[in-house]
């Protein structure tokens, strides 16, 4: 399918709609990340649990004619005791952890189906997702490498928080990137 031939609509999803479309969310996730579809079953409980977190929000890119999910972005307020929050905190020194994690929105997933990438859908999802977030910073992790995702985050002012970080259960190195909120605030310096 040619992305120029599809019409898309960006919509906000509440917890109920996100959970109703959970299989579609997971399908976009594994396809965009290049994971085996067999991973869907093992991730279902984790992702469903994310929808119960404080300040959960989600945006979806849909093909209006078919209802097909083309892209998804979601996150929530990151806090002590949450797995990802604790992993990142362990990788930072105390001042950096306080700076980045004390009032942080965790961008958990931001994906667009491969056939529709490169047309601004990811940026639109990211901006819509973060619009109105009350946290002072946003953090995310993404596999290391020169990818569209890295270029998008850099273009939008995300800076290095941790590089080549190894999360338990994944042999790939990840970059943890951060940015101050709202988007009209200046990006932090790389030394923050």
Interaxial angle between packed helices 83-91 and 94-101, expressed in degrees from 0 to 180 and rounded to the nearest 10 = 140
Exposed / middle / buried, residue 15 (Cβ in 10 Å: 0-12, 13-18, 19+)? middle
The rounded distance, in Å, linking the Cα atoms of 171 and 121 is: 29
- Name the nearest CA neighbour of 125 among 181, 72, 184, 180: 72
Instruction: Tell me phi and psi for residue 186, to 5 degrees.
Output: -70, 145
| Contact status, residue 147 vs residue 132, Cβ threshold 8 Å | no
| 153 classed as catalytic | yes
Catalytic pick among 74, 76, 99, 153: 153
Element (H, E) at 15: helix 15-20
Catalytic sites, residue numbers? 153
């Amino acid at each position: 399918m040619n992305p120029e031939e599809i019409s898309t609509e960006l919509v906000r999803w509440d917890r109920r709609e996100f959970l109703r479309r959970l299989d579609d969310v997971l399908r976009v996730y594994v396809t965009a990340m290049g994971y085996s579809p067999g991973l869907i079953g093992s991730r279902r409980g984790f992702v469903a649990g994310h929808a119960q977190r404080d300040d959960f929000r989600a945006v979806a890119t849909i093909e209006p004619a078919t209802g097909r999910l083309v892209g998804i972005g979601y996150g929530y307020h990151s806090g002590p005791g949450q797995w990802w929050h604790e992993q990142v905190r362990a990788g930072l020194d105390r001042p950096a952890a306080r700076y980045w994690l004390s009032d942080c929105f965790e961008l958990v997933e931001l994906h667009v189906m491969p056939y529709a990438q490169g047309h601004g859908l990811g940026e639109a999802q990211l901006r819509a997702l973060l619009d109105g977030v009350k946290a002072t910073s946003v953090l995310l992790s993404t596999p290391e490498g020169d990818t569209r995702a890295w270029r998008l985050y850099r273009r939008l002012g995300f800076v290095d928080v941790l590089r080549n970080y190894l999360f338990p259960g994944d042999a790939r190195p990840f970059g943890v990137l951060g940015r101050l909120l709202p988007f009209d605030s200046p990006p932090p310096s790389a030394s923050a």
